[in-house]
């Protein structure tokens, strides 16, 4: 899984400047979904949706809530993750990359949430630094040969950011090595590897020229572009190299026919770097919005899946699905009994068979003025700034005719709008820790 990668950032979805042949090959030898959605449009809650199978109206972690100095709001001991399901059914489980759902020593420690092996970042602040002082390995700090400057960033996200002043150990290199080792060590038994890279998330604490840290700008080094454009493109191509190494390992070990490989991203690209402009990379393709938006650009994700001999090669599916379907899909594939979730297995869509669909897909976003969105068939309703005004007028779009969400047709279809708003109201459950509306805020 990539981090802040846009719908249009890879070749399979129209990218022409940045080359991603290894990622694209997953879809070429498998299936490409065109209507797959993240849990929401920012990191921690989207990952919580993926791990638990609950949509944003029900999930435990609904925002990037930070606890000093650099930890995350942890998921509770009672939370049941897809990793726990797999572990209980005989799979060795590994998580390598950015976790973001609890620090070591808390209930959200990944080793307490179903993962036999963990290596990477547990938080989402130090994870911005690609050359960190240390990474975690099963609860132990593994110190690296980097020198790091820490910054007190409590004024804006109550955390401890950093950037590197001496760069030796590049964390994605280390993560890839650990991933290859995990596959090697577990190739004789069933395994589950969750590999959420930090690429291409920028380092908001670093000087502007260091935002996307990569060992080399590669073939882009001589382009007449801003340095951040060069490093953004280079780090995505670096990610593609890593994906190629992982898929080649699966193939060379003879595991292709019993291994499902999925590639996606946690949410859309950031707005601040202007990568979605036509003059840069058009990261969102035809979609409106960015990370932290519930417009399509913030939540519609690239999704490619490969399973040799099971998924027909070169197929495309327009089945509407979301991160909260992953849990149900896994349970379906391994034929395990799972607890109730909000998801529906998309296994049939993967293999090209008739597929049961959701009545609707539902999303919330908990930063700024806060937002809600719901998609049913071709219709999408979205309400922005609901924490400022609980009765804010809704916007209505026909995604079949207007994928760019340019034409608000709320006034033209009042009955459809009313129906979708009633569904949206029913999908939301109140959590006192995560007020969506002013009436839910603690007094």
Same domain, 380 and 270: no
Predicted confidence band of residue 294 (pLDDT cuts 50, 70, 90)? very high
Same domain, 373 and 279: no
293: pLDDT strictly greater than 70:
yes
Q: Is residue 60 part of a domain?
A: yes
Predicted confidence band of residue 107 (pLDDT cuts 50, 70, 90)? very high
pLDDT over 90 percentage in the chain: 85
pLDDT average, residue stretch 237-264 = 99
Residues in the chain: 443
Q: Is residue 184 part of a domain?
A: yes
205: pLDDT strictly greater than 80:
no
Q: Is residue 295 part of a domain?
A: yes
Q: Is residue 393 part of a domain?
A: yes
250: pLDDT strictly greater than 60:
yes
Q: How many domains is the chain partitioned into structurally?
A: 2
* Token couple for 396: 């209505």
Cis (ω within 30 of 0) for the bond into 200? yes
Within 8 A by CB and 6+ apart from 7, the residues are: 13, 268, 283, 284, 285, 287, 296, 297, 300, 301, 302
- Rounded to an integer, what distance in angstroms lies between the CA atom of residue 284 and that of residue 269? 8
Same domain, 297 and 333: yes
The domain boundary, picked from 323, 351, 379, lies at: 351
Q: Is residue 19 part of a domain?
A: yes
| Mean per-residue pLDDT over the chain, rounded | 94
Over residues 145-178, the pLDDT tens digits come to 999 988 765 554 445 678 888 999 999 999 999 9
Same domain, 375 and 301: no
Q: How many CB atoms lie within 10 A of CB 17?
A: 15
Backbone angles phi, psi at 342, to 5 degrees: -90, 0
pLDDT average, residue stretch 197-215 = 83
- Rounded to an integer, what distance in angstroms lies between the CA atom of residue 91 and that of residue 85? 9
* Token couple for 399: 């995604």
- Rounded to an integer, what distance in angstroms lies between the CA atom of residue 431 and that of residue 271? 29
pLDDT average, residue stretch 82-102 = 98
Same domain, 213 and 111: yes
Among 126-135, 305-314, 357-366, the minimum mean pLDDT is found in: 126-135
Residue showing tokens 């950037």: 163
Over residues 304-331, the pLDDT tens digits come to 999 999 999 999 999 999 999 999 999 9
- Rounded to an integer, what distance in angstroms lies between the CA atom of residue 199 and that of residue 13? 18
Distance of CA 112 to the CA centre of its chain: 21
Over residues 267-278, the pLDDT tens digits come to 999 886 555 555
pTM (global) more than 0.75? yes
Predicted confidence band of residue 141 (pLDDT cuts 50, 70, 90)? very high
Predicted confidence band of residue 210 (pLDDT cuts 50, 70, 90)? confident
pLDDT average, residue stretch 119-139 = 93
249: pLDDT strictly greater than 60:
yes
What is the pLDDT at residue 275?
Answer: 56
What is the pLDDT at residue 228?
Answer: 87
Cis (ω within 30 of 0) for the bond into 69? yes
Output the CA torsion sign for 29, 35, 41, 44: negative
Q: Is residue 58 part of a domain?
A: yes
Q: How many CB atoms lie within 10 A of CB 387?
A: 20
The domain boundary, picked from 351, 384, 409, lies at: 351
Over residues 391-426, the pLDDT tens digits come to 999 999 999 999 999 999 999 999 999 999 999 999
Q: Is residue 6 part of a domain?
A: no
Beta-bridge mates of residue 374: 362, 381
Query: Domain range for residue 320?
Result: 11-351
């Amino acid at each position: 899984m990539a981090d802040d990668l846009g719908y249009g950032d890879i070749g399979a979805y129209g990218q022409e400047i940045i080359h991603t042949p290894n990622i694209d090959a997953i879809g070429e030898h498998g299936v490409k979904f065109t209507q797959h959605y993240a849990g929401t449009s920012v990191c921690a809650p989207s990952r919580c949706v993926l791990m638990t199978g609950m949509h944003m109206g029900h999930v435990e972690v609904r925002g990037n809530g930070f606890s000093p100095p650099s930890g995350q709001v942890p998921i509770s001991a009672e939370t049941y993750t897809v990793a726990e399901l797999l572990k209980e059914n005989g799979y060795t489980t590994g998580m390598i990359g950015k976790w973001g759902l609890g620090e070591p020593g808390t209930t959200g420690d990944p080793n307490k949430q179903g993962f036999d092996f963990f290596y990477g970042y547990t938080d989402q602040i130090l994870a911005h630094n690609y050359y960190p002082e240390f990474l975690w390995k099963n609860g132990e700090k593994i110190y690296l040969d980097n020198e790091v400057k820490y910054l007190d960033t409590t004024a804006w996200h109550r955390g401890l950011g950093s950037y590197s002043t001496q760069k030796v150990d590049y964390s994605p290199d280390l993560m890839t090595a650990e991933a290859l080792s995990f596959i090697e060590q577990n190739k004789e038994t069933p395994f589950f590897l969750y590999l959420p890279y930090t690429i291409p998330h920028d380092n908001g604490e670093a000087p502007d020229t260091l935002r996307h840290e990569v060992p080399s700008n590669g073939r882009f080094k001589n382009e007449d572009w801003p340095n951040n454009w060069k490093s953004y493109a280079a780090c995505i191509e670096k990610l593609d190299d890593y994906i190629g190494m992982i898929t080649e390992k699966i193939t060379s070990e003879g595991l292709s026919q019993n291994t499902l490989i999925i590639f996606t991203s946690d949410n859309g690209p950031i707005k601040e770097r202007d990568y979605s402009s036509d003059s840069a990379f058009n990261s969102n393709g035809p979609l409106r919005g960015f990370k932290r938006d519930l417009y399509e650009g913030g939540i519609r994700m690239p999704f490619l899946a490969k399973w040799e001999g099971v998924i027909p090669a070169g197929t495309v599916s327009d089945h509407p699905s979301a991160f909260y379907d992953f849990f149900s899909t896994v349970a379906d594939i391994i034929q395990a009994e799972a607890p109730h979730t909000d998801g529906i297995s998309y296994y049939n869509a993967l293999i090209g068979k008739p597929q049961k669909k959701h009545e609707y897909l539902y999303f919330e976003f908990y930063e700024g003025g806060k937002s809600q969105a719901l998609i049913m068939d071709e219709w999408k309703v979205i309400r922005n700034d609901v924490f400022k005004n609980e009765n804010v007028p809704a916007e209505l779009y026909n995604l079949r005719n207007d994928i760019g969400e340019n034409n608000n047709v709320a006034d033209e279809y009042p009955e459809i709008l009313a129906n979708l708003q009633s569904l949206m109201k029913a999908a939301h459950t109140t959590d006192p820790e995560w007020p969506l509306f002013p009436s839910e805020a603690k007094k």
